[in-house]
Each structure stands twice: as structure tokens, then as C-alpha cells.
Amino acid sequence: MKARLLIAAVLMFFANTSFGQMQTSDHSHQHHPRGSLTIFGGYTFQDKVSFSNSYGYIKEAAHWGLSAEFFMDRLRTLELLYQRMDTHAPLYDGYFGTQLNHDNDKAGLNYIMIGGVNYIPASPTVMPYGGINLGVCVVTNKEDYTATKFAIGGKLGVKIKASPVVGIKLQAQLLSVVQGAGGGFYVGTGGSGYGVSTYSTVLQFGFTGGLSFDF
């Protein structure tokens, strides 16, 4: 449900961007930045993944990252994004509820993505925005397991400019790792021994705030 609502909201936001461009056409001769660099951090909520006879969690944790945007016109940017999250991924027996991977549940998710961001200039200093990203998530665990999975994301937020160069960005985001959780992710090469012979898609919803620098 979270995924559908956020994706629908992002698509509606993109559809409204042309209206925002029409509203601000009389300011088209003003100087505008070529790009923007954002350093951010935030919080991602827990997600549950289910398998044939077991289930697991991607626990809630802090995340951090870096975003570089390049303006294609006044209101649209091409974005390059990196986000890192270190968390725990406990796996439980589906019948008795006992944890199967004690002392071996550390996990990392590294998102490397490209996408587009659309802005609407509500005022000279406040700019709501929406964006969609595609890319990969490099998933790791304590046993040196590494897998690269397809990832997609959507976000809605607002950029508040404190000066012509510096701004603050606040956003809600949803990231999805397609078939990102499986046996190797949870318990290394022994994953199938715990009944994790299939993969489950990971959905990560969270909030982010950051400092943005235009150039």
C-alpha cells in the first residue's frame, strides 16, 4: 500500500510540473544553477520478508548518502544517488519463532541509482519536488556475502533555500530491492539449510533530511 500511494503521488507530481513551468515563465531570464550537491541522512523503517517456512526482518536503522543533480532545464534535474544503510536482518523459524542466525544478522544495503527530479517553485525560497530513481542495491552480510539486485525508488519532498547557494531538503522516500532478500543475504552459504531457498522483495520506507549546495 505504501508503495502504491507514493508512486501515485510521484506520478501526479510529475504531471503538475508543466503547470509550474507555465507559472514561472516570466522569470526565465534569471540566473539559475547548473547543478546541486546534497549530503543527507535519515531513518528507514523496518520491513518484513517471508519465505516458505521462515521469515525475516530488515530492521529499522539510520541511513546516509550523497546526491548530485544536474539541471536539464529550470525545473528538471538528472540525479546520481548513493545511499548506505547498516542494519540487522534476523531470520526466524516459521513454526517456533526462534531466531536462526544469532550473532550473524548484520547486513548492509548500498543503493547506487540514477533518476529524475521535478521541482515546482511555490515561492522564491520553497520548492516542492518529486523524483523517481532506478539502479542497483549491493546487498552484503557479515559472512562476506555480496549480491547486486535491481532497485527502484520514489520520493516526495521540499527544498527550502536559506541563501542563493545553500538549501535544506526534507523528503519521504520508498526504495524497493527486487528479490533482494534470500538465503545468502541472511545466513551466507547456509541459507538453504534454514529453508530460505527463494527470494523476497524488500520495501524500505523512510524519511531524509540534508544540506544542499547549488553550483
Q: What is the pLDDT of residues 184-210, one digit of tens each?
A: 566 543 444 455 555 678 899 999 999
If you average pLDDT over residues 99-110, what whole number do you get? 88
31-88 per-position pLDDT tens digit: 689 999 999 999 999 999 887 778 889 999 999 999 999 999 999 999 999 999 999 9
Structural element, H or E, at residue 198 = none
Cell 514561472 locates to 24
Architecture of domain 2-21+37-214: Beta Barrel (2.40)
Q: Is the pLDDT of residue 213 over 90?
A: yes
Angstrom distance (rounded) from CA 7 to CA 1: 10
pLDDT of residue 83: 99
pLDDT of residue 145: 77
Q: CB–CB of 71/35 below 8 Å? A: yes
pLDDT of residue 159: 98
Angstrom distance (rounded) from CA 74 to CA 41: 26
Centroid of chain to Cα 6: 12
Residue 200's closest CA among 185, 182, 214?
A: 182
pLDDT of residue 144: 76
If you average pLDDT over residues 140-167, what whole number do you get? 91
Q: CB–CB of 44/63 below 8 Å? A: yes
pLDDT of residue 178: 82
The full 3-state SS of 125-190, as one line of letters, equals CEEEEEEEEEEEEEEEECCCCEEEEEEEEEEEEEEEECCCCEEEEEEEEEEEEEEEECHHHHHHHH
Of all residues in the chain, the percent with pLDDT exceeding 90 is 56
